[in-house]
Amino acid sequence: MKQLVAFDLDGTLALSKQPLQDDMGEALADLLGVAHVAVISGGDWPQFQKQVASRLPDRVDRTKLWLMPTTGTKLYTYKDDWAPVFAELFSDEERRKIVEAFAASLAATGFKPERTWGEQVEDRGSQVTFSALGQQAPLEEKEHWDPDFAKRKVIQADLAKRLPGLSINMGGATSIDITREGVDKAYGLKKLRDASGVPLDAMMFIGDAIFPGGNDYPAKMLGLDTVRVRDPQETIAVIAAIVACGK
């Protein structure tokens, strides 16, 4: 039995930018009865608050829950309330270069969508995230834009040429996350090891993008036991199996 189970968020615990459903909250409450739980994803803290922290049932042991926004460059834990443990931030110049590269890459690759909903580029402090259809795009539109990641793989390759020395990973339904070089979910999981005292070989990772180029793949390359899931319903089934083993 692993001491800590880490999860991706969008596509794994919840649909893209949607709050946890009640059955997922109950499943996590059960899991927290037998192990520590971490959530590591590209969203910033307000998104974590909306999707996860505010959606947990009262019986959850929040002191065993580790929330890691912006690919693990931030960590929040719970005592009397949620509070940040650390945050690693881009400089203004770094952010400017990234935003300019996104605009140039969209023009060069030809994947500029006809319609967007809200801002495409979001500065999350320690991460800059590109959402192809905009931050407020309807879920239906997002699910149909790039279901096989083909468009984002082309954009990702173009960005890699424009932004040497930065990590560029696909996440969510339409997103590309940019962090400092070496910052990916493997980096975040190592920071989690240091903060929690749980060794990597006592962790496992569950996500929907555990494939080369996916933003969950670094967890597999780090050597963690991983489970790739199709959607939140499959995640609930995996959690049930882990809880059964833990009991």
| Per-residue H/E/C for 181-226 | CCCCHHHHHHHHHHHHCCCHHHEEEEECCCCCCECCHHHHHCCCEE
Tell me the pairing of strands 65-68 and 82-87. Answer: unpaired
8 Å CB contact between 189 and 6: yes
Alpha carbon 200 to chain centroid, angstroms: 18
Looking at the whole model, is its pTM more than 0.85?
no
**What DSSP character marks residue 10?**
B
pLDDT tens digits along 187-212 = 999 999 999 999 999 999 999 999 98
8 Å CB contact between 9 and 20: no
pLDDT recorded at residue 97? 94
8 Å CB contact between 196 and 217: no
pLDDT recorded at residue 41? 93
8 Å CB contact between 71 and 188: yes
pLDDT recorded at residue 66? 98
Rg (CA), the chain: 17
pLDDT means per 10 residues, the chain with 247 residues, are 96 94 98 98 93 97 96 94 92 92 92 90 89 92 91 94 92 88 92 97 97 91 97 98 91
Residues 86, 88, 93, CA angle at the centre, nearest 5°? 155
Q: Give CA–CA dist 192/68, Å, rounded.
A: 8
Q: Partners of 206 in the beta sheet?
A: 7, 227
pLDDT recorded at residue 161? 96
Residue at 137: amino acid letter? A
Domains and CATH numbers, the chain: 4-88+183-246 (3.40.50.1000), 92-180 (3.30.1240.20)
8 Å CB contact between 39 and 13: yes
